[in-house]
Structure 1
Amino acid sequence: MSGSTAARVKEAAVKVETAASGAVTNPTQVKTDFLHQPAVRAALPFVNGGLAGMFATAIVQPVDMIKVRLQLAGEGSKGGPKPTVAAVTRDVIAGGRVLDLYKGLSAGLLRQAVYTTARLGFFDTFQDILETRARANGTRVTFAERAGAGLSAGGLAALVGNPADLALIRMQSDGLKPVDQRANYRSVFDALFRIAKTEGVGALWTGCYPTVLRAMALNFGQLSFFAESKAQLKQHFPSLSENANRFGASAIAGFFASFFSLPFDFIKTRLQRQTKGPDGKYPYRGFFDCFQKVLRQEGPLRFYRGFGTYYVRIAPHALSLFEQLRERETGTEGQTWETEDKTWETEDKTFDVWEP
């Protein structure tokens, strides 16, 4: 080790020792650092939530690509060969590029950043209103009220994130068009700009109705079945660890969330992918028209095509959501927080936000 390097290491060690001594002698002063600033502490849950969602999106993006292609296969026809995951995967990478499975990743990341942040923001706002009203009335926030806040937050966040969702579907389905008709979007921002320029700004909210319903159905499945699954697993499998119990409950809740939301996701994909035909008209006039045509021409089970890939896509996000909420609602055991009018003592809770 050179003399200059040794000197820098020694200097860093002295700084660490000084900081540690300061924390012991004056712990209040330590809380004035950047991470303990009120604004930073308030923003951290949203930043962590957005980053967690984006990380999960990056992992499951190929699965999402396959799910979208499965939903678009055989459009308008009830018969014909049933596409498989393997066949769709081969078709996507037929051009020799495995990275084609990641088409639309920039849109997926933007959507997740916007949606997750907005959902947590709306939920916190609604929950603050509910808690303020409950304290004023001397009552407690009920499960139904929390569930309503969660559903509303999910729906509003989906509305905010719809443009990125639209860009994602357009980028993923672009390869299904003839080569001379492909848009070949370079990024999510290129897609958003070109769609707004050629189709109008309002086109960015195409499919927003099923998008909002999908988000609400997704949250309903998670809300309704996580707490119950957790309780049932604890009753019938008491030997399970807390982490195993939570993971199993998340998997079950993810299944039901997928079951309730996939039909809306299917219609959303069809609406957001459609373009005008030679007659200048869209194949579907809207949500109900799409539902009726698919039901009549392709059968009711078509709404659940790609269920396996959809569940694989949803499960990591469901587990990520539960972990975010658990961390935000779990206090440090035995820790005391002092406010102007009351002292609050936290408990060792695992998932209080959704449980009654």
Structure 2
Amino acid sequence: MVADSKGKSDISFAGTFAASPFAACFAEICTIPLDTAKVRLQLQKSAVAGDGMALPKYKGMLGTVSTIAREEGLAALWKGIVPGLHRQRVYGGLRIWLYEPVKNLYVGSDFVGDVPLTKKILAALTTGAIGITVANPTDLVKVRLQAEGKLPAGVPRRYSGALNAYSTILRQEGVGALWTGIGPNIARNAIINAAELASYDQVKETILKVPGFTDNVVTHLFAGLGAGFFAVCIGSPVDVVKSRMMGDSTYKNTLDCFIKTLKNDVCLPFNFLFLS
């Protein structure tokens, strides 16, 4: 009951910023094989062969994981893990650290009671946009490394690793290139962050009103599952556009990428949702 009387966590903002990304980094290590498969599916385009459409190289999430492991080795599934961890440290830290103070800023210091869902969504949109604006270079490098498949013999890789990718992009494309895809990335992460944090907050709040439920691991698990599912469904189309802009320099801008994807690959914005 001491915690309730205080109403606030004893952990400082600096402590929250330092601690919050560790869980995100652990999740990144565990899930990056699926994320690599997701990026390959998102970057895969419909191809014409002969009189009809060529069969896609990657089919479904599990099929893509299997193909990458068979052709490139298991280690290929963890491509992009270094910039992925960079991203979680920066983006994960900022969005989680800022959520509570931004939410309190929107409702006011004298507010009492349950925070309205609209304020939770607004706070999550704000923190997601701020976090990814700072972390966009790490996301770009992660996608570029994940996009590299098995190359023909004698063809050198563009990047030897994460640090080489940062320096190569800076040297060859300029500082601004590190923020390629920033528009859809802000939209994607603001939407997903709002869906994750706001829906998690709301689902947990709703569950706690059900007799028999308390603020324990089970409640957090149900809230997390609901938030994750909702966030993926909402953010999927924007995520495809973001990955394509970062992995393919042929698109002029966000609108151009969206229109071409919708026109040529109408089924792809949601194809990574299927497991086989």
**Is the partner of 2:70 in helix, strand or coil?**
coil
Instruction: Provide TM-score, normalisation by structure 1.
Output: 0.64
Given residue 139 of structure 2, which amino acid in structure 1 is its aligned partner?
A: D
Deviation, structure 1 residue 106: 0.4
Aligned match for 2:255, one of 288, 308, 311: 288
* Matching of residues 191-206 of structure 1 within 5 Å: 191-206=165-180
* Matching of residues 28-177 of structure 1 within 5 Å: 41-75=12-46, 79-81=53-55, 83-95=59-71, 97-123=73-99, 126-127=102-103, 129-130=105-106, 134-135=108-109, 138-140=110-112, 142-143=115-116, 144-175=118-149
Q: Which segment is superposed worse, 161-170 or 118-127?
A: 118-127
Q: Which segment is superposed worse, 261-270 or 91-100?
A: 91-100
Deviation, structure 1 residue 55: 1.1
Aligned match for 1:271, one of 241, 245, 264: 245
Q: Whole-Å Cα distance in 2 between the matches of residues 179 and 163 of structure 1?
A: 30
> Measured at CA, do residues 166 and 177 of structure 1 come closer, stay the same or move farther in structure 2, by a change above 3 Å?
farther
Residue deviations 1:60-79 (CA, integer Å, cap 9, x gap): 11111111112122346694
| Equivalent pair of 1:159/1:212 in contact (CA under 8 Å) | yes
> Measured at CA, do residues 267 and 258 of structure 1 come closer, stay the same or move farther in structure 2, by a change above 3 Å?
same
Gaps of 5+ in 1: 1-37, 276-281, 310-356
> Measured at CA, do residues 172 and 48 of structure 1 come closer, stay the same or move farther in structure 2, by a change above 3 Å?
same
Deviation, structure 1 residue 294: 1.1
Q: Whole-Å Cα distance in 1 between the matches of residues 67 and 166 of structure 2?
A: 26
**C-alpha RMSD over aligned residues:** 2.8
Larger Rg: 1
> Measured at CA, do residues 103 and 251 of structure 1 come closer, stay the same or move farther in structure 2, by a change above 3 Å?
same
Instruction: Provide TM-score, normalisation by structure 2.
Output: 0.81
Q: Whole-Å Cα distance in 1 between the matches of residues 72 and 42 of structure 2?
A: 23
Q: Whole-Å Cα distance in 2 between the matches of residues 81 and 234 of structure 1?
A: 49
Given residue 64 of structure 2, which amino acid in structure 1 is its aligned partner?
A: V
> Measured at CA, do residues 75 and 168 of structure 1 come closer, stay the same or move farther in structure 2, by a change above 3 Å?
farther
Deviation, structure 1 residue 249: 2.1
Q: Whole-Å Cα distance in 1 between the matches of residues 156 and 184 of structure 2?
A: 25
Given residue 248 of structure 1, which amino acid in structure 2 is its aligned partner?
A: F
Deviation, structure 1 residue 166: 0.4
| Equivalent pair of 2:180/2:246 in contact (CA under 8 Å) | yes
Q: Whole-Å Cα distance in 1 between the matches of residues 72 and 263 of structure 2?
A: 37
> Measured at CA, do residues 231 and 121 of structure 1 come closer, stay the same or move farther in structure 2, by a change above 3 Å?
closer
The answer as to 2:234 corresponding to 1:260 is: yes
Q: Percent identity?
A: 27
Q: Whole-Å Cα distance in 1 between the matches of residues 100 and 209 of structure 2?
A: 32
What's 2:4 paired with? none
Deviation, structure 1 residue 253: 1.5
> What is the total number of aligned residue pairs between the two structures?
258
Q: Whole-Å Cα distance in 2 between the matches of residues 53 and 171 of structure 1?
A: 20
> Measured at CA, do residues 290 and 264 of structure 1 come closer, stay the same or move farther in structure 2, by a change above 3 Å?
same
Residue deviations 1:127-183 (CA, integer Å, cap 9, x gap): 56447xx34xx5459433343222111111111111000000110111255455543
What's 2:6 paired with? none
**Is the partner of 1:202 in helix, strand or coil?**
helix
Given residue 88 of structure 2, which amino acid in structure 1 is its aligned partner?
A: Q
The answer as to 2:272 corresponding to 1:306 is: yes
Q: Which segment is superposed worse, 215-224 or 89-98?
A: 89-98
Higher relative contact order (CA 8 A, sep 6+): 2
Q: Which segment is superposed worse, 54-63 or 242-251?
A: 242-251
Given residue 270 of structure 2, which amino acid in structure 1 is its aligned partner?
A: Y
| Equivalent pair of 2:20/2:97 in contact (CA under 8 Å) | no
Given residue 96 of structure 2, which amino acid in structure 1 is its aligned partner?
A: L
**Is the partner of 2:252 in helix, strand or coil?**
coil
| Equivalent pair of 1:107/1:187 in contact (CA under 8 Å) | no
